[in-house]
């Protein structure tokens, strides 16, 4: 199954839970600087707005990122950033709560680029692993840029825990209820 198909299935699961009354699953703080293509409805009193995943019809260009970082990203990362625009992709995977990078219209790669810059700086200017999210206890969710294997990084200990063979396995097995 492609990344886009797995993400579609994930967003369908999220939609089903919203229908059961968990409408917060499609609410996000409003950012007035962003393109509103994913937003729907009105901003509430807490400055939150409903959002919906929007399938991308055009691929993002990674040439600038490739030139700036002198790196070819693993295909699973490129597929992830070229599937949908969305505000949240999170859930429970095994015993971990995982929150992956959002892909927001108009700022698709800017947050990711900032994360990459910080990660590279903290890892001796080397990008063998690519940060793609965070785990509930503060560990980084990283992808091995050669193999695509998903790991949790404990920066303080300098250790990595293998949690999924690839990003598709991770997303395909996320649960929104414990």
| Residue 31 falls inside a structural domain | yes
d(Cα 174, Cα 176) in Å, to the nearest integer? 7
| Residue 152 falls inside a structural domain | yes
| Residue 89 falls inside a structural domain | yes
CATH at residue 89: 3.40.1580.20
pLDDT tens by residue, 103-127: 988 776 888 889 999 999 999 999 9
Contact 128, 69 (CB under 8 A): no
| Residue 177 falls inside a structural domain | no
What is the residue range of 31's domain?
3-172
| Residue 136 falls inside a structural domain | yes
pLDDT tens by residue, 27-46: 888 776 666 788 888 888 88
Beta-ladder partners of 85: 54
pTM passes above 0.95: no
On average, the pLDDT of the chain sits at 90
Segment 78-99 shows an average pLDDT of 95
Provide the 8-state DSSP code for 62: -
d(Cα 120, Cα 135) in Å, to the nearest integer? 19
Q: What is the domain count for the chain? A: 1
From residue 27, give the alpha-carbon distance in Å to each of 22, 99, 138, 144, 166.
Answer: 10, 15, 23, 31, 28
| Residue 83 falls inside a structural domain | yes
């Amino acid at each position: 199954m492609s990344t886009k198909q797995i993400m579609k299935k994930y967003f369908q699961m999220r939609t089903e839970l919203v229908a059961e009354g968990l409408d917060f699953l499609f609410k996000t703080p409003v950012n007035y600087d962003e393109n509103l293509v994913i937003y729907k409805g009105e901003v509430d009193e807490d400055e939150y707005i409903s959002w919906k995943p929007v399938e991308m019809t055009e691929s993002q260009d990674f040439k600038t990122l490739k030139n700036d970082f002198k790196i070819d990203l693993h295909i699973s990362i490129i597929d992830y950033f070229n599937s949908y625009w969305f505000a949240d992709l999170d859930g429970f995977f095994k015993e971990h709560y995982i929150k992956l990078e959002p892909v927001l219209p108009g700022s698709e790669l800017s947050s990711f680029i900032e994360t990459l810059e910080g990660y590279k700086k903290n890892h001796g200017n080397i990008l063998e692993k690519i940060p793609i999210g965070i785990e509930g206890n503060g560990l980084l969710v990283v992808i091995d840029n050669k193999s695509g294997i998903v790991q949790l990084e404990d920066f303080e200990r300098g250790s990595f825990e293998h949690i999924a063979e690839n990003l598709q396995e991770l997303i395909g097995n996320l649960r929104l209820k414990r």
